[in-house]
Amino acid sequence: MANNKPNSGSRGQDLVTASDGLPALAVSDHVKEKEFAIERIINIFNSGMQHKWNRRCYIDLFAGPGRCVIKESGEEVDGSPILAAKSRVQFTDCFFVDGNLECLDALRKRIRGLGLKELDRFHYYPSSADSAVAKLMADLPDSMTSLGLAFLDPWGWDFAFETLATLTDSRRIDLVINFPTVFIKRNWRRELPQLDKFMNGSGYRESFELAMTRQDPWATPTSALLDSYKKELHGIGYKYVRDQIGVKNSQGLPLYQLIFASKNERGSEFWDKVTDRQESGQIRMGI
């Protein structure tokens, strides 16, 4: 059983000790819905692309320790990096970024414990996502011969859009972004400059503020945020952007939206396969 006495993780999330003696993220039950979606995305991506691309890369910019402990039950579930490492069809390269050294060390130990071959294909970056990008880009396989899948699960909005633009410039990297709509709506006035960096400028503000203050009866804060962010993704070459999967908590209240973005039209077909089997929350949450 996990030790339920938490200490603070690098992104403000609580850490507890899991049954393997290593730190894990203490999370609420809704994380299982998110991990269900991520695991399905990973498996469909790899199985669909294995004969088309010899090099398939997984990039996790907020990797964490690789395990989560459900606060309500003590149940332990794999985090996104472990799901990627255990994919039925393997990635040829995996890149894990996290600013918490304790978490990254735990992830490294857990991956070693899986008994996988070729451990040198797993790369670790003890840094914030913004700071790690230059080194990460230097280590990625040649852009002409590789396809990437990047998962961004920021705590709040601690990630600059400019970093995303830099990472994906002239590269084939599909994106899965855990977009924290509720967190933004609760806290947006506190750190507006940082939110502007996350949203790539202040262009979202007018429509968002009108929706938040209910001055625009036809708009919701969620749609204002997502539509603005999707516009920015289009601006860096992502022509196909979808946001059908919304994750809710145990009370049925919305928490965040999963955004998928691709530069290739086949991305839409790929996402249709993902959402076809999603258990719940397949629509944009309009509040």
The predicted-structure confidence for 91-102, as pLDDT tens digits, reads as follows: 999 999 999 999
108-119 mean pLDDT: 95
Cα–Cα distance for residue pair 209/224, rounded to 1 Å: 9
Within-domain flag for 119:
yes
231-238 mean pLDDT: 97
- What is the pLDDT, as a whole number, of residue 4? 47
Within-domain flag for 286:
no
Cα–Cα distance for residue pair 65/21, rounded to 1 Å: 12
Within-domain flag for 66:
yes
Within-domain flag for 67:
yes
Q: For 173-217, how does the pLDDT look when each residue is reduced to its tens digit (9 = 90+)? A: 999 999 988 888 888 777 678 889 999 999 998 899 888 888 777
pLDDT at 280 exceeding the cut of 70: no
Residue bearing the bigger pLDDT, 144 or 148? 148
Within-domain flag for 287:
no
- What is the pLDDT, as a whole number, of residue 192? 77
Structural domain boundaries, residue 58: 3-276
In the chain, the number of structural domains is 1
Residue bearing the bigger pLDDT, 82 or 7? 82
| Helix 192-199 / helix 221-235 crossing angle, nearest 10 deg | 50
The two beta strands, 93-97 and 55-60, are: parallel
Cα–Cα distance for residue pair 188/204, rounded to 1 Å: 12
21-43 mean pLDDT: 90
Specify whether the CB–CB gap between 249 and 28 falls below 8 A. Answer: yes
Q: Under DSSP, is residue 69 helix (H, G, I), strand (E, B) or coil?
A: strand
Within-domain flag for 284:
no
Amino acid at 206: E
pLDDT at 31 exceeding the cut of 60: yes
CATH number at residue 158: 3.40.50.150
